[in-house]
Structures are given as structure tokens and as C-alpha cells.
Structure 1
């Protein structure tokens, strides 16, 4: 006897790392660049972050690393990002 089984489609949430911690943040005219304590460097286009892309270079340079390295805050433009969302490729719609 043979049985035909159709596999169920697996639904998974995006991986959200919780242990990654930022040690430095910089922005150039095109990218947000975050260095993590384990040595990884994460680079994302500024276009992903409208408030950052519209900010002046001086405003972008004034980032505060908070939450023991798990979050990034730019007080002058009221922008907040988490390292976990950055690593997961999170955008405005997913946060």
C-alpha cells in the first residue's frame, strides 16, 4: 500500500538575534555601518531609514548606543533602531 502525503508548508518568523551588541556606529552618504562586539560589521543602505537619509551628516554622526549595545538612537531626529531588526533586515513595516 502506498500513501501520498503532501508536506505541510512551514511558516517561520524572521530570525531575531538577541545577543548581538553594537560597539560603534557611523554613517556615510549612502550607508549605515554598525560594528558589533563580535567583530562583525553590518552595512545597510540609508534609503532603508528615511529619517537618517534626510538628516544632515552632523545629525547622523550623533548616534547614541543604548540598551547595552542592543539599540541605536539619534536624538536630534528621533530615530530608533534595534540591532536585532538591523540583522534581520527589518524595515519600517516590520518593526
Structure 2
């Protein structure tokens, strides 16, 4: 059995747009993925998506408001979240959408 030593670069910056997550890496690459890959973040409000921090020595990104994590390794491997629209807590999407309407906040995708 052979072992491949994979050196995962650090995330150096994260850019959040309406449709995508863009992660810049220490080796000069940048990855851009659609929010559709991450249902929890797809349905988050813009302010929640923008409230991120690097974790695990910059090998991951955490969103406190929605309790979501994405690893650089997973992004490099092209792995979307294992979570589906139906696996989110019951009523999660509706509660977020209703709360956004009450507050007059946009940024949700229905």
C-alpha cells in the first residue's frame, strides 16, 4: 500500500457573493463554488454568510450563525456538502425566510 502525502494549502481569504463562495489559497489558486453545494449556507441570509472565520490553522471555514463548516481539502476534492435540503432541521428554511421578511432582509434564495 502506498501513501500519498497531500499538502493542503491554507485558505488566505474568503469572498462571499450572492451566488458563490470564493476561497483564495496560499499556493495562489482560488476556488469558486456555488452555494447550491451547501444547502445550509444557500438558505442563510447575506449577513450570516459574511460572518465567517478561518479555523483549523486556515484549513477550514466556519459560519457561527448557521453552524456550518467547509474544509479546504473538501473544496479541492470537489466535494459538496453531504447535507440535503430535506436533511436540514424541520422548518429551518421557512423560519429563515419568514424572519428575513419580517426584518426586511434580502439575500435568501427560495
Matched residue, 1:90: 79
Pairwise CA RMSD: 1.8
**Runs of 4+ in structure 1 over 3 Å off:** none
* Structure 1 unaligned regions, length at least 5: 1-14
Matched residue, 1:62: 51
Larger radius of gyration: 1
Matched residue, 1:79: 68
The normalised TM-score by structure 2 is 0.66
The normalised TM-score by structure 1 is 0.76
Q: Are 1:30 and 1:45, in contact at CA under 8 Å, matched by a contact in 2?
A: yes
Once the two structures are superposed, what CA deviation does each residue of 1:59-89 show, in whole Å capped at 9, x if it has no partner?
A: 1111110111101100000001100001101
Give, in whole Å, the separation in 2 of the partners of 1:18 and 1:75: 27
Give aligned pairs, total: 79
Matched residue, 1:44: 33
